[in-house]
């Protein structure tokens, strides 16, 4: 009863705050001000919102606060009165009824086998077929069909993870190599259950999957097994997984075969789902011709709640409110201020502007992915996307990072035309894909601009509070974004989209499990309490994340690195596609780099 009363009191209190806030929202001064930026961050990053975790009442309050401002400015709400609802998985754990049996073998959970987090819950007894990498590829320069002439209806299949080119980010196999995509194809072929195994070239350590990835169920049993277990399954064929992987990689042709082995297995995975939301509203321009073309400005409003293990907090052993003042109350405050100022300029706008606050970004860009797959406006009419994420800590170097500058032919010229006279420097990066919500739009052939002042020691910790925000810097950055967006919105010609790097993250591609930063480390150990980067490879993750020759790595994801052995140990526990923080000593200063593997 006490908990119920507290929830009622909280709801009533927040309700009054939002009611009074909504009634007072009006455009007295449309200019971008430090006072209003501070007000927005002060509310969104307050302890009362408890870290804005998706699916919580506090997360809904944050969304409603943003929506009330959009409505107060006169924007037209889209979706369900300005909200676009979607479900997210907040936790996954294996049940007690997982089992694997064949002949005299009784598998041990988390030793011989483990269900994938997207596995369905069911029991299946059937025979097994090996179908190589589980490919069905029909391209001009590559034809490979592991399913050809195989009768797999209602059977188990055994599939190799990855592909024959595990080290190539630009491999022709990349788009066919994710675990989930392979399972979806198998399901379409009538397969009833899937075993997946890591070949020695994919993962020499042969570690079983974890429940870290929060994905919805595919509706059939999907089990990761060790190579030892897989070799027992195909023993009668006289082949081994190691031999099959080597031959598939060298011949690049199917080696599928059926067995008469009957396997019984049960999978049980518990998923907890909650509903969260995007906030979406539109400012329709006054131009009767171009108002059906859209510029989208957005930033995510969710954060990590109380942190903890599995939350991506850099202090996972600390349960405390992660207010996320910079990440990303700063970006949302900029979006709100831009919405207010552009509303006052409506008569001067050629194209319409969609304003968005994305939900569940911290859980894997889920809100932006949901929007591009379930658009509330015609997706092809979005002519550019501006993503604002962590713009509140303009540092002493006064550097504004802008990603996606290679996704349109005109981007750099436009950005440079508005740069002179600013109190910061602009550092550009071509890549369209990155660890924030613009990635989903780049994947749909939309030019993107990603604005950030970069990572810092407070990133994903309870210390990311409002007292760390550089409000003058935030205002300067927001003013600059306003000028750039105005220039793009009112251009006569559209931006010319062009590809700038992969459109999906490596984690979706089933690349080799091991990861590298792309540095040549100091193997001799000439530095105490750290590892020096003697060379940084151009175009690799470290260089893209801002690492420089001579930087001394002292921590990865807040865990200490004191020598080459610590470094290798930390790398072995990372996965492709993951975004990590790397702390480095550069001269007398400590820098925190945000690096996508």
Q: Residue 122's pLDDT band (boundaries 50, 70, 90)? A: very high
Report d(CA 542, CA 347) in Å as an integer: 45
CB atoms within 10 A of CB 129: 22
pLDDT value for 455: 82
* CA 141 centroid distance within chain: 31
Find out whether 437 and 481 touch, Cβ atoms under 8 Å. Answer: no
CA angle (257 as vertex; 252, 263 as ends), nearest 5 = 130
Report d(CA 346, CA 342) in Å as an integer: 6
Helix, strand, or coil (residue 471): helix
Q: Residue 4's pLDDT band (boundaries 50, 70, 90)? A: very low
- pLDDT digits 0-9 by tens, 503-547: 776 443 344 556 789 887 775 566 778 899 888 878 789 998 999
Helix (H) or strand (E) holding 36: helix 34-44
Find out whether 393 and 468 touch, Cβ atoms under 8 Å. Answer: yes
Report d(CA 249, CA 171) in Å as an integer: 13
- pTM for this prediction: 0.74
Looking at residue 414, the DSSP 8-state letter turns out to be H
Taking residues 319-338, what's their average pLDDT? 97
The full DSSP string for 383-397 is: EEEEEE---S---TT
The residue with tokens 């550092």 is 427
Least confident of 35-44, 411-420, 503-512: 503-512
CA dihedral 151, 157, 162, 165 (to 10 degrees): -40
Widest distance between CA atoms in the chain: 80
CB atoms within 10 A of CB 242: 14
Report d(CA 578, CA 186) in Å as an integer: 27
Helix, strand, or coil (residue 236): helix
β-sheet bridge partners, residue 397? none
Closest CA to 48 of 5, 24, 85, 17: 17
Find out whether 302 and 368 touch, Cβ atoms under 8 Å. Answer: no
Report d(CA 162, CA 135) in Å as an integer: 10
Q: Residue 358's pLDDT band (boundaries 50, 70, 90)? A: very high
Mean pLDDT, the chain, as a whole number? Answer: 90
Report d(CA 233, CA 258) in Å as an integer: 11
Looking at residue 209, the DSSP 8-state letter turns out to be P
Ramachandran angles phi, psi of 408, nearest 5°: -145, 145
Higher pLDDT: 9 or 182? It is 182
CA atoms in the 13 A half-sphere facing the CB of 33: 9
Closest CA to 357 of 374, 378, 373, 371: 371
In residues, how long is the chain? 597
Taking residues 369-397, what's their average pLDDT? 95
| CA separation, residue 501 to residues 32, 233, 245, 457, 504 (Å) | 34, 40, 29, 28, 9
Find out whether 313 and 460 touch, Cβ atoms under 8 Å. Answer: yes
pLDDT value for 9: 39
pLDDT at residue 259 greater than cutoff 90: yes
pLDDT value for 487: 97
Q: DSSP 3-state helix, strand, coil percentages of the chain (rounded to 5)?
A: 30, 25, 45
Ramachandran angles phi, psi of 338, nearest 5°: -65, -40
pLDDT value for 7: 40
Cis check for the bond before 340: say yes or no (omega within 30 of 0): no
pLDDT at residue 322 greater than cutoff 70: yes
Taking residues 69-78, what's their average pLDDT? 97
Least confident of 137-146, 223-232, 240-249, 418-427: 137-146
Q: Residue 11's pLDDT band (boundaries 50, 70, 90)? A: very low
Report d(CA 375, CA 354) in Å as an integer: 12
Report d(CA 491, CA 93) in Å as an integer: 51
Taking residues 142-164, what's their average pLDDT? 95
Higher pLDDT: 544 or 66? It is 66
- pLDDT digits 0-9 by tens, 267-295: 999 988 899 999 999 999 999 999 999 99
Find out whether 67 and 279 touch, Cβ atoms under 8 Å. Answer: yes
Closest CA to 152 of 73, 302, 258: 258
Taking residues 312-335, what's their average pLDDT? 93
For residue 240, count CB atoms less than 10 angstroms from its CB and return exposed for 0-12, middle for 13-18, buried for 19 or more: middle
Taking residues 130-138, what's their average pLDDT? 95
Taking residues 494-507, what's their average pLDDT? 81
Taking residues 364-383, what's their average pLDDT? 96
- pLDDT digits 0-9 by tens, 438-480: 999 999 999 999 999 988 889 999 999 999 999 999 999 999 9
Taking residues 384-411, what's their average pLDDT? 93
For residue 375, count CB atoms less than 10 angstroms from its CB and return exposed for 0-12, middle for 13-18, buried for 19 or more: middle
Helix, strand, or coil (residue 269): strand
Going by C-beta distance under 8 Å and a sequence separation of 6 or more, which residues neighbour residue 597? 506, 515, 517, 541, 574, 575, 576, 577, 578, 579, 580
**Domains in the chain, ordered, with CATH?**
2-88+273-489 (3.40.630.10), 96-267 (3.50.30.30), 514-596 (2.30.42.10)
Find out whether 487 and 499 touch, Cβ atoms under 8 Å. Answer: no
Q: Residue 312's pLDDT band (boundaries 50, 70, 90)? A: confident
């Amino acid at each position: 009863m006490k908990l119920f009363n507290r929830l009622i009191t909280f709801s009533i209190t927040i309700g009054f705050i939002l009611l009074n806030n909504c009634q007072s929202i009006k455009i007295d001064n449309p200019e971008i001000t430090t006072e209003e930026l501070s007000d927005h961050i002060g509310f969104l990053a307050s302890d009362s919102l408890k870290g804005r975790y998706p699916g919580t009442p506090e997360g809904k309050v944050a969304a409603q606060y943003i929506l009330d401002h959009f409505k107060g400015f006169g924007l037209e709400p889209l979706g369900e009165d300005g909200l676009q609802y979607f479900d997210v998985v907040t936790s996954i754990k294996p049940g007690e009824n997982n089992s694997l049996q064949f002949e005299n073998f009784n598998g041990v959970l988390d030793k011989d086998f483990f269900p994938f987090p997207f596995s369905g819950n069911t029991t299946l007894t059937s025979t097994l077929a090996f179908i190589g990498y589980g490919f069905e590829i029909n391209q001009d320069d590559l034809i490979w069909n592991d399913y050809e002439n195989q009768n797999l209806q209602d059977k188990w299949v055994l599939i190799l993870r990855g592909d024959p080119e595990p080290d190539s980010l630009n491999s022709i196999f990349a788009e066919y190599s994710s675990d989930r995509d392979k399972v979806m194809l198998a399901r379409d072929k009538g397969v009833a259950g899937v075993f997946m195994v890591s070949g020695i070239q994919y993962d020499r350590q042969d570690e079983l999957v974890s429940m870290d990835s929060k994905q919805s169920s595919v509706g059939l049993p999907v089990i990761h097994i060790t190579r030892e277990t897989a070799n027992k399954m195909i023993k009668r064929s006289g082949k081994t997984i190691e031999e099959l992987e080597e031959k598939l990689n060298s011949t690049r042709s199917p080696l599928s075969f059926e067995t008469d082995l009957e396997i019984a297995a049960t999978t049980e995975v518990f998923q907890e789902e909650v509903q969260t939301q995007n906030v979406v509203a539109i400012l329709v321009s006054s131009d009767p011709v171009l108002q059906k073309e859209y510029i989208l400005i957005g930033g995510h409003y969710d954060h990590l709640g109380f942190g903890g293990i599995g939350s991506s907090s850099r202090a996972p052993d600390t349960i405390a409110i992660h207010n996320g003042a910079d990440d990303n109350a700063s970006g949302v405050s900029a979006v709100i201020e831009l919405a207010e100022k552009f509303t006052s300029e409506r008569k001067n706008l050629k194209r319409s502007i969609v304003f968005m606050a994305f939900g569940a970004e911290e859980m894997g860009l889920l809100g932006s992915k949901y929007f591009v797959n379930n658009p509330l406006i015609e997706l092809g009419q979005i002519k550019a996307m501006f993503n604002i994420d962590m713009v509140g800590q303009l540092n002493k170097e006064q550097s504004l990072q802008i990603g996606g500058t290679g996704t349109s032919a005109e981007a750099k010229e436009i950005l440079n035309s508005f740069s002179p006279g600013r109190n910061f420097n602009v550092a550009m990066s071509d890549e369209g894909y990155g660890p924030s919500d613009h990635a989903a739009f780049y994947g749909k052939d939309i030019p993107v601009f990603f604005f950030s002042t970069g990572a810092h020691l407070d990133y994903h910790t309870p210390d990311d509070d409002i007292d760390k925000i550089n409000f003058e810097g935030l205002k300067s950055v927001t003013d600059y974004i306003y000028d750039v967006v105005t220039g793009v919105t009112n251009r006569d010609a559209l931006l010319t989209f062009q590809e700038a790097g992969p459109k999906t993250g490596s984690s979706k591609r089933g690349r080799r499990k091991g990861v590298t930063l792309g540095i040549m480390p100091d193997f001799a150990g000439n530095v105490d309490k750290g590892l020096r980067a003697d060379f940084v490879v151009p175009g690799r993750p470290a260089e893209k994340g801002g690492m420089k020759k001579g930087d001394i790595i002292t921590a990865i994801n807040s865990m200490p690195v004191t020598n080459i052995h610590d470094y290798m140990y930390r790398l072995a526990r990372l996965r492709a596609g993951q975004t990590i923080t790397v702390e480095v000593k550069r001269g007398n200063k400590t820098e925190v780099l945000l690096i996508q593997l």
